[in-house]
Amino acid sequence: MDAIERTMRTYDQIAEEYCRKTERQGDREFQEKMLDRTLSFLPPSPRIIDLGCGDGRDTQYLQEKGADVVGIDISRGMIDLARKKYTECAFLRSDMRDTVFPNDTFQGAWASTSLSNIPKSEVSRVEKEVYRILEQGSIFCFSFKVGEKEGFEESIVEGFETYQSYYTLEELKRELNLFDVIDSREYPEEIFNNSFMYCWARAK
Ligand SMILES: C[S@@+](CC[C@H](N)C(=O)[O-])C[C@H]1O[C@@H](n2cnc3c(N)ncnc32)[C@H](O)[C@@H]1O
């Protein structure tokens, strides 16, 4: 079983508790500012994909703001939870490395900390797939844990491990050749002892 499959199986088991633990009010306000910033780069009613959508809270927010949005997640447990919580939104179980969407389907892609679960050796596959399904000039916003290490580590749900890749902005700029980084923002405080960063990149 590879790192992504092992992580997916863990999320299947911990979906509800994981989402409950990450639903802190302060985080939400900042997250919504970051979602609004993403929308500010896009045309009205943009087509957006939420990559690794978890319980779908960002998918729902984007839809509420007028986007035509679909949330995808590799974990069946997460997708089932999202469908239960936000019945009005579209969700699909899918691997972000290989989706069913035709070329140029979306104008925006949003990945809130989901690149963290992708081993560094697989990130260029994600980049190529996201680039393929985005129109030229589209915006890809992703948030990530700042650092350099990667490997399995204890989840915020005790007794479970997920794969975590940490990045620096410089490393991601080097890695993502199909995109130009146009903006970035640090999360103002640590969450669960980690520093987070948001980055906006435009498809070349
Ligand atoms: C850290 S959680 C973040 C969830 C949500 N985006 C949020 O901010 O609350 C990462 C999510 O990415 C999903 N994920 C991990 N690898 C994936 C992949 N290859 N394709 C699609 N989703 C993936 C996980 O199942 C998990 O729900």
> pLDDT tens digit string along 122-162?
999 999 999 999 999 999 999 999 999 999 999 999 999 99
- Output the CA 200–ligand 1 centroid distance in Å: 18
192, pLDDT greater than 80 = no
What is the layout of strands, in order, in the sheet containing 196-203? Answer: 90-93, 68-73, 47-51, 106-112, 134-145, 196-203, 179-186
In degrees, to the nearest 5, what angle opens at C-alpha 192 toward C-alphas 144 and 21?
95
Q: Is the CB of 97 under 6 A from ligand 1?
A: yes
CATH assignment at residue 141? 3.40.50.150
Give the Å distance between the CA of 55 and the centre of ligand 1: 9
pLDDT at 187: 84
Structural domain harbouring 15: 3-203
pTM, two decimals, is 0.97
* Helices and strands: H and E segment counts in the chain: 6, 9
Please state, in angstroms and rounded to a whole number, the distance separating the CA atoms of residues 89 and 57.
10
Q: Which pLDDT score, from 0 to 100, does residue 38 have?
A: 98
pLDDT of amino acid 195 = 87
106 pocket-lining for ligand 1 (C-beta < 6 Å): no
> Which of these, 142, 81, 141, lies nearest to 113 by C-alpha position?
142
Q: Tell me, what's the pLDDT at 25?
A: 61
Q: Number of structural domains, the chain?
A: 1
Instruction: Average the pLDDT over 168-174 and give the result.
Output: 93
- Tens of pLDDT along 25-82? 667 888 999 999 999 999 999 999 999 999 999 999 999 999 999 999 999 999 999 9
Ligand 1 pocket member 96 (CB < 6 A): yes
